[in-house]
Structure 1
Amino acid sequence: MQVPAFDLTRQNEQLAKPLAEAYQKVVAGGNFILGEAVKRFEAEMAEVLRVKHAVAVANGSDALVLALMALEIGPGDEVIVPGFTFFATAGAVCRVGATPVFADVLPGSYNLNPAAVRTKVTSRTKAIVPVHLFGGPAAMAELMALASEYNVAVIEDAAQSGGSICGGLPTGSIGDLGCFSFFPTKNLGCFGDGGMVTTQSDALAEKLRMLRVHGARKKYYHELLGFNSRLDTLQAAILQVKLPHLGEWLARRQAIAAKYREGLKGVPGIHLPDEAEGHTYNQFTITTPRRDALREYLAAHAIGSTIYYPLGLHLQPVFSGLGYGRGDLPVTEELTETVLSLPVFPELSEAEQEYVIAKILKFSEGETCRK
């Protein structure tokens, strides 16, 4: 048996007819930039996410940049971000001229540690960017209270948590702004790049809509210095086809996670991620001190797995000038050496998952015997 870490073709095959019809409709209409499908998708997402405004943009990285720009964050400002996350979270801060300040994460959730964030706040801090990593909600109640105490903004990086719930609210609807990605492997993915910024603020939404079209409210009249970041109509139409299925896909991801928990509970050397209400498991990420050996073993048995992420952001070469070194974020550094994401996607079959679990158990038995 071969089990991929992720397989998008199965989902697309199931939706082949409506996806083809959506594509043909856009082509026939001839409006490929910010067309009607974009407006409809924005309205549908605003309803799903329970926000007043959902502004579609070109990708998740741009969503973060635009959110920072809308808050007028720039040179001289600091933004607190987790050390353990995808590069774009910190890269966006640098792209607006501000300085990323790296805080450590919690070992079980992999998300920002509010206590660590508190130690990083200075008079230059303008925002905190919690990431709902792997679909698991960050500690938003504590982080929002902290942000209120220091009068700083909160930008949720919800790129991996489309549809996740935190304290009864959708991720991306809690902070001042929420940022989403529609990269193909996300909970809701298009056929390329796509993103979105959400907010309850009329003023911020107006700025975002201007910033995504070179800072213009009226064509060729530029009031702000923005750039070109628009979700194209074809991608919006594809996302409209997929959106009604999001609930069932998330339920399937949660069922897969539950099966992994049942099958791997108590296995020596295997540590499961924290359980969290509203977690949507864009990834099911375990930790093990024998990560590399397990990954090689799984690969030898045709099972895909992925390392998210092999190096903390504070140790990335591009950020070497910020003065961080090994030992500064101990939890982040331990995670980079122990995390392994197992196959999880809605179309993963039970037989495939049982095969993955069986092989991990076999590996663990062998390791135990050698000890």
Structure 2
Amino acid sequence: MSIHEYGWSDYWNGFWNQWKQSNEERAGDTQLRPARLIADYGQKVKLITMDGERWGAASGKLRHTMVDPAEMPAVGDWVVITTSDEVSDAVIHAVLPRKSQISRQAAGFETKEQLIATNVDTLFLVNALNHDFNMRRLERYLIMAWNSGVNPVVVLSKSDLCDDVQQRVAEAEGVAPGVPVIVISALQNEGREQLEAFLQPGATVALTGSSGSGKSTIVNWLSGADVQLTQDVREEDSRGRHTTTHRQLFPIAKQAVLLDTPGMRELNLWDDSTGVAHTFADIIEIAQQCRFADCKHKGEAGCAVEEAIQRGELSESRVNNYRKMQRELEYQARKEADRRRKDSRSSTTSGRRDQRSGWRRDVEW
């Protein structure tokens, strides 16, 4: 295996040449070469190079110059590396420009971006057709997908466990207008051809969804081999355990690259540029007919959204989730703004102290 089986193309070769041109002082280093980060194990990562797989880690300079943790190398990234010999770990010196970036708000109270994957073309939003089927969660995944610059595809897995598949399809199409909805059953080998239509040569396809939705099973099914561990879910509530513990790329012979991710029971949204507008386009379009431009859709006279709910054109639960998403993103934006102000004040205070004491902070690495 080499980087060609993991999506290397003329597109990425162009970025590689651009990087060398803008780093002329280093471009002459014959040890510099491109690689892709294919798995993250914490302190070390696994890379695929022209010569095959090898372990690697970010250089000290890269760790210190990347102020934002989200800029650090992540699974899916194309990176610039050097290798001192055939067995030592590779050193990552730079990250090539990203085509897309899938992020979420990290768990915990701190406002912090957590990268899920980069350079993804298509995102399979996997929802099992069992007790864990949840349209409100699907709306969150759709917002994340649209914000990330990837093409979402709704994958309804485990259709063999559902007695009313068409009803579930209608529900999914209702919250994801214009997005492909594919019904599959790996057990009965149904829906495989529809998924493979997105596995074009050189493409990177990621899978996301809650634990137990069947992501690892889909990876094995499409790969034709047991490359990922799988576990059964609890029958009483269809809850799964975290089978996948890290993010990893899997090449499919002469086709695309699959990226499996750990299951996410809670998806806290990170940023919003177009996600809400895409996901709730029907509500936003109707809201333009409200009597008041600042209508909150909570009892105001002439509210077109509430009238649409009464007529059965909109689901009340969907509108409530739309309001919830807006509040969540507004709250996060305020927290992020507060954090930036505090960081700015701290940096200013620290700089003044340095000037008084004569310290030099511009250390050469």
TM-score range, shorter chain: under 0.3
Q: Normalization by structure 2: what TM-score?
A: 0.26
Whose radius of gyration is greater, 1 or 2? 2
More strand by share: 2
TM-score, with normalisation over the residues of structure 1? 0.25
Structure showing greater relative contact order (alpha-carbon pairs closer than 8 Å, 6 or more residues apart): 1
Structure number having the greater helix percentage = 1
